Structure 1
Amino acid sequence: MAIAEKLAEFRKIADNPKTQLEHYKSKGMKAVGVMPYFAPEELVFAAGMFPAGMWGSNTKSISRAKEYCASFYCSLVQLDLEMLLDGTMDGLDAVITPTCCDTLRPNSQNIKVAMKNKMKVIFLAHPQNRFPECGVKYTESCYKKIRAELDEVSGHKTTDEEIQNAIKVYNRSRAARREFVKLAGAHPEAVSAVMRSGVLKASYFMLKDEYADKLEALNAELKALPASDWKGVRIVTSGIICDNPTLLKILDDNKCAIVADDVAQETRSFRCDAPEDDADPIHALAIQFRNQDYDILLYDKFSSQNRRGEYVAKMCKDNHADGLILFMQQFCDPEEMEYPYLKKALDAAGIPHIRLGIDHQMRDFGQAQTAIQAFADVLD
């Protein structure tokens, strides 16, 4: 199968999460919705269930969710609830709700009330300070509780060996995605921004072993391509999410190649592996969370040093990017509060950037098109 066909297959999967959910349910599998982010998805996989990623929707409108959510909730969270209410996610047997921000924190209660206990809601509260041993122990206790709740849903008592196998499957999937990001950045003539997003987004709607098989095959073909002679602009993207095909096509139309990203839904989600040599797989998953770093929604004990801003600036330098585009989620307080520090680091490193406010409810992309076109012209 040609590269273009493989990319189109991933894009089709990314655009049809409900179809994917129905596909796995038709095999007799139970399904668990996994909301953003840092949930131990390996535990769902180990229990023999399908983990369905929930990152909002670019095609739906917020209607019924408004009855349960404050008006200042970001569209991502509201649309996750909307999809539960309108039947899109009817096949779910449970949902995991992490609490990494103030909007996510009350989300489990909103779902319980809205869904009238039609599905099991599994609450996940990571420790704020994940670095010391007490933080690791607390994470372990949370994950043990989730393991027990998932066992109730699946009707199967998960073994340590099954979780250790799941860790290996997920590490393999993460490695394949990290390699794909590098190859896509090296071959923008073959992988457009729209298709790049499709490949990464499809991982949320497939079992990770099946996904890794497909992605490794694509990576092999990309590696066989001759060196690229890209004449356009090289950029790094940053933000919580930027998966709207209409928005990404503006990058393609202006010959802006994404050579790396600092996006929560993309590279941040597979940046860190879990140890495979730990005899206790729950401890291994807790260590993985401890090792997560340079994220807006995670406590940084070195925050006074502007480490994240410098990390993102270095990412731009290391990937020879001409500039950075920050896709800032509307009503996201953490992103808004962090921006001055990020801007300071980018300015100090001499990296041009623009900030675009985005929302899942965007239907008019005129301002974004003008801003990206002007930015590309300046960088070219």
Structure 2
Amino acid sequence: MESIKKILAAMKEVASHPGQAVKNYRQKTGQGVVGCFPIYCPEEIVHAAGMLPVGMWGGQTQISQALTIVPSFCCSIMQSNIELALKGVYKDLDAVIMSSPCDTLKSIPQDWGYVVPDIKVIQIVYPQMRKIEGGVEYLKTEFLRVKQAIEAITGEPITDAALKESIGVYNRHRRSMREFCSIARNYPRTITPAVRHLVIKSGYFMEKSQHAMLVDELSKELKKLPPEEWQGKKVVLTGITAEPDALLEIFDENQITVVADDLAQESRQFRTDVPAGEEPLLCLARQWSLIEGCSLAYDPQKKRVEMLIELVRETGADGLIFCMMKFCDPEEFDHPIIAEQFEAAGIPSLYLEIDQQQQSMERERTRIQSFAEMLNS
């Protein structure tokens, strides 16, 4: 257990102080840092340039200036990112990469350029018709623009060999994360919902090969322990994020463990590998065509519903918790379909509204308590 505690302490230090992690990386390597807005950022290109990609998923901060730039119906992740930018939190970034999978993110690059003109914006437009070869080829040209923009910052070319190596690093990290999530189900007392989230979140502020080593070591140490008995209930989470941690701690208070997730900030980031091939940029672009079950990746068949039902049954979960990011249109479109199908399948589900700026969790505490009592009845 001491080894596990040390690994988790190292992860907590990084996740709790991302600014210091960025400074440490600069001091150690002399390389730059690029911020990656949600949700699918080609981090491998940044990594291949020797720079550190860091996740920008907002956070809890008092919104005082951002609403002069973005509308009040903008999701709290974007409100937080603009607020933090205005406060100078991101001053150490060399650039930010933004995709445009939703209406809000389509306008954020212009807002960002106004707020922090000194930090370069690299925008990506992902094709909606992502399954056809033309869509893949188009996205390759978008990634080429990203590559050229990063090269302009570093002054050095990004070779195909470096890209292939970085793709290998990231695919290995994805495998490590999938293995950890599978193993963690057997240790609900050690890997609480908040701890599970910590392990995943810390990877946004570390070089991926280093994070993979920590995760592999954690998985190795967990497997040395006997599986832990659990008398409480098991759930699957879906949505964009399940932050802040205070929300996850309420799950633990009510003897609810998370056995799997379909969160944009968590498993959606590592459940689909980049396929092998000779052209690394084309391989990165093809990954977008392989992603399934995400509200931000166009899917008229709505495979997400069946994927979630299968995940609940595969993990033996007692129910589903839909973590609805406030003002997230893509997720709001999916929720009625998911709720209807889960009711038809006889699987209990709970709708929680997520707002990073929320000060009190009493409403969520009451709803989670009621859900736990329903599952126990």
Partner of 1:321: 317
Partner of 2:9: 8
SS of structure 2 residue aligned to 1:234: strand
Partner of 2:57: 55
Partner of 1:35: 37
Q: CA deviation at 1:190?
A: 1.3
SS of structure 2 residue aligned to 1:241: coil
Deviations 1:337-378 (A, max 9, x none): 211100112112211011011101011000101111111122
SS of structure 2 residue aligned to 1:33: strand
Q: CA deviation at 1:153?
A: 1.1
Residue identity in the other structure for 1:172: R
Partner of 1:105: 106
SS of structure 2 residue aligned to 1:2: helix
Residue identity in the other structure for 2:241: I
Q: CA deviation at 1:87?
A: 1.5
- Is the 2:15–2:198 contact (alpha carbons within 8 Å) kept by the matching residues of 1? yes
Q: Does 1:333 align with 2:329?
A: yes
In structure 1, distance between residues paired with 2:334 and 2:188 = 30
**Scaled by the length of structure 1, what TM-score is found?**
0.96
SS of structure 1 residue aligned to 2:210: helix
Q: Structure 1 stretches (4+) deviating beyond 3 angstroms? A: none
Q: Does 1:282 align with 2:300?
A: no
Q: CA deviation at 1:248?
A: 0.6
Q: Unpaired segments of 5 or more residues in structure 1?
A: none
Deviations 1:298-348 (A, max 9, x none): 11142xxx4211211111111100011111011111111211100112112
- Is the 2:292–2:303 contact (alpha carbons within 8 Å) kept by the matching residues of 1? no
Q: Could you say what the CA RMSD is over the residues aligned between the two structures, in angstroms?
A: 1.1
Q: CA deviation at 1:49?
A: 0.4
Identity of aligned residues (%): 38
Partner of 1:376: 372
- Is the 1:310–1:346 contact (alpha carbons within 8 Å) kept by the matching residues of 2? no
Deviations 1:120-175 (A, max 9, x none): 11011010110000000011010011100011112110000000000000001111
Q: How many residues align?
A: 374
In structure 1, distance between residues paired with 2:238 and 2:95 = 31
- Is the 2:243–2:354 contact (alpha carbons within 8 Å) kept by the matching residues of 1? no
- Is the 1:25–1:91 contact (alpha carbons within 8 Å) kept by the matching residues of 2? no
In structure 2, distance between residues paired with 1:18 and 1:360 = 19
Q: CA deviation at 1:9?
A: 2.3
**Scaled by the length of structure 2, what TM-score is found?**
0.97
Partner of 1:269: 269
Higher mean Cα deviation, 158-167 or 339-348? 339-348
Deviations 1:244-283 (A, max 9, x none): 111110011111010000100000111100123x111001
Partner of 1:67: 68
- Is the 1:144–1:282 contact (alpha carbons within 8 Å) kept by the matching residues of 2? yes
In structure 1, distance between residues paired with 2:176 and 2:122 = 29
Partner of 1:125: 125
Partner of 1:309: 305
Residue identity in the other structure for 2:33: A
Partner of 1:225: 225
- Is the 1:11–1:195 contact (alpha carbons within 8 Å) kept by the matching residues of 2? no
In structure 2, distance between residues paired with 1:269 and 1:349 = 27
Q: CA deviation at 1:243?
A: 2.6
SS of structure 2 residue aligned to 1:188: coil
Q: CA deviation at 1:201?
A: 0.3
